[in-house]
Every structure is written in C-alpha cells, then in structure tokens.
Amino acid sequence: MSAQDLPPDDPHRRPDRVDDATVEAVGKVSEAMEWVERARGHLYELHQLLGHADLLFGEAADMLDDAGHAAQADGLREAVVGRNVIEGRWTFQLVEDFDDGYWSDARDQERRIRDDLMAGRRHVFESEMKEDRRTKGRRHHESRP
C-alpha cells in the first residue's frame, strides 16, 4: 500500500493534487516547529533550574547566617538571591515573552501553511516515509493501528 492507497479520509494521506515538493516543504516547516518545541522545553527547564537555584541560594544564605557568617550571607542575598537573570527580567518573564511572541508566531505560521497546502493534515511527509520504509505484511510494520 502506498501513501496514495490510504483511505481518502486518512488524516495523514496527501490531499489530491499536492506535489512532492509541497509535501517536502511543509514537512520541513513541521520539522522546524519540532525544534522550536524542543527549545521551548529547554527554556522552561532553564526557568525551573534557575528558580530552584534561587531558592537554594536563599536557604544557603540563611544557613550562613545561622553559622555566624552574616557578611557572607548578606553578600549572597544582595548579589544573587532574587535577582534578575537578564536585565529587568526573571525567567518567568522570558518564558512569557517567548510564548507570546516567537513560539506563538511560529505555531500560527506552521498551522496556516499546513491548512493552506495540506488541508490541515499533519505529518504527511512522515506518513509517506513510513509507508515507504515499513515491511508490508510484517507484524509491527502495520500501516495504521
């Protein structure tokens, strides 16, 4: 079964009259969006890692105070605890700006291109790759569930 042999209502079937170059280009847009999603995950990871580190620095400052090292505790609090990680911003603000700007625009463009050129169908390029690469008739190589 080739990709074009899939039932017409299959959500991964190439729409009629869509050429290979279009499928490949839209697939490239989707691939780029997957990399943006990965970057977004790392940004959230940065947000959580630095937030946790800030709490630990605060606990460490309290412990330094308790151990009789007030000057070091004060220095840590003044220089690090609660400070902006980038001028004027904590990491939650970086996440919000990213989500509201670049990420949202990229998602909107990917969806618009997919809607305009692929009838909204996702992963058509990958679906065709699966059909090409799988061993027909073999268990665990089925076309669809």
Domain-located, residue 77: yes
Contact (Cβ atoms closer than 8 angstroms) between residue 6 and residue 143:
yes
Per-residue pLDDT tens digits for 83-109: 999 999 999 999 999 999 999 999 999
Domain-located, residue 111: yes
Please, what is the end-to-end C-alpha distance for the chain in angstroms?
Answer: 15
Confidence of residue 10 (pLDDT cuts 50, 70, 90): confident
pTM (two decimals)? 0.84
If you average pLDDT over every residue of the chain, what do you get? 94
Domain count for the chain? 1
Domain-located, residue 70: yes
Domain-located, residue 46: yes
Tell me the residue range of the domain where 63 lies.
16-133
Per-residue pLDDT tens digits for 120-145: 999 999 999 998 899 999 999 988 88
CA 21 distance to own-chain centroid: 25
Angle between helices 20-66 and 70-79 (to 10 degrees): 160
